[in-house]
Structure 1
């Protein structure tokens, strides 16, 4: 079952791509600016005995998404597993400085892009008799982090879309779920102050930070036949950080 992972040149996306490859999926490693990183991820998968290739595309652009899915299908066959992981800059903007454009910048990645991707892969999934659509969300809507209202609103919209699309696509055998990580430090967090990390960790009931592999494990479950009767669900992966 071919898997397409967007934004997979580094961070969570790269780990998800590697995990799905270990489960036997041919993996399309999507990237936009980081060609060398994406090719390194794909080459690592191949070196480990898996099947993968890097595919460049801006997944917020309709024509680019259409071309991406066509290229993946030509190389590996229809996409049976879609992981919508790609994201953009996530600046903190105080509420009184927030503009509509700030909202649109986040909606591009968490509403527009998943919609374009869904429409592009759904016909192939229907032909296969089913498929898996997995969104990578966030626990920030519950945390109400100051300065992150545009990002949080877009992530909340993404979760709502997941539930509605699960109902609509269920008759075609397509499940739609969302994995909502807490703060999982990856490469782009290398410069974050250690004291900030420690303050966050103290609020996690399990007493530690999560890892990209722990997010990838949940994605792998949702991509597998073991989750065949699970749809419309939001699975939070944050060590209990948002327990009420």
Structure 2
């Protein structure tokens, strides 16, 4: 088994906007060749790639439904052909997050969340594993959420799926550690991005008032945590859940 210290190719899902776009830009700035993966919003994905290249980084956009097995296999093959073997995987893609009375939640509602936070991560991990094994190691970071600690009844399906996602992180960390592959979760609090453009100022202020650091998070806060976990400095960190929420869920 050989070990390669160069950053290599990094796959970031859901990277055409929001946290994914910021993470992609940060990893590119750190020397990774970044696959900006998107399901919709080709123009936005191309804009992210253009920004990265303008700053001297390397990136390409890739369209794929990361909940589909065939699409994921094709995605990783395409990334490998164009950017090289995958060394880093950031599982960030998400779908709608509706609020629902638990009494009205259906099994299909649960499946919709599990598709993004259990099925998709599993497909992606399995697809990049051969590249990481060939390199003698790799980094997998899942973008979770602190919602698992906030006990929000109207987010029960989302919360259950996010809890399952972190359980995958722990299981994979134990299974893949002997091969030099680390697996961690970054769990943000409320980090306002494009999808929260309609949030009322008073709601943001009320949330910030509950946070010990007295502010909402910034996407760069999350990107910095991801950048650390995929760096050589975090080579001995695995199976962890790093909360990036200003201490909001402290006991």
Q: TM range, normalised to the smaller chain?
A: over 0.9
Which residue pairs with 1:124 in the alignment? 131
Classify the secondary structure of the residue corresponding to 1:3.
strand
The offset of 1:146, in angstroms, is 2.5
Q: Distance in 1 between matches of 2:103 and 2:92?
A: 29
Q: Distance in 1 between matches of 2:17 and 2:150?
A: 25
- Aligned residue runs from structure 1 range 13-162, under 5 A: 13-162=20-169
The alignment status of 1:203 with 2:210, answered yes or no, reads yes
Q: Distance in 2 between matches of 1:107 and 1:93?
A: 16
Q: Distance in 1 between matches of 2:149 and 2:124?
A: 26
TM-score normalized by the length of structure 2: 0.97
The offset of 1:227, in angstroms, is 0.3
**Unaligned regions of 5+ residues in structure 1, if any?**
none
* RMSD over equivalenced CA pairs, Å: 0.5
The alignment status of 1:170 with 2:177, answered yes or no, reads yes
Q: Distance in 1 between matches of 2:130 and 2:175?
A: 14
Q: Distance in 2 between matches of 1:241 and 1:131?
A: 31
The offset of 1:221, in angstroms, is 0.3
The offset of 1:145, in angstroms, is 1.3
Q: Distance in 2 between matches of 1:76 and 1:35?
A: 19
Q: Distance in 2 between matches of 1:46 and 1:145?
A: 41
Q: Deviations over 1:7-31 (max 9, x none)?
A: 0000000000000000000000000
Classify the secondary structure of the residue corresponding to 2:238.
coil
**Unaligned regions of 5+ residues in structure 2, if any?**
1-7
TM-score normalized by the length of structure 1: 0.99
Q: Deviations over 1:177-217 (max 9, x none)?
A: 00000000001101111111111010000011110000000
Q: Distance in 1 between matches of 2:216 and 2:44?
A: 25
Structure 1 ranges of 4+ moved more than 2 A: none
Q: Distance in 1 between matches of 2:220 and 2:74?
A: 30
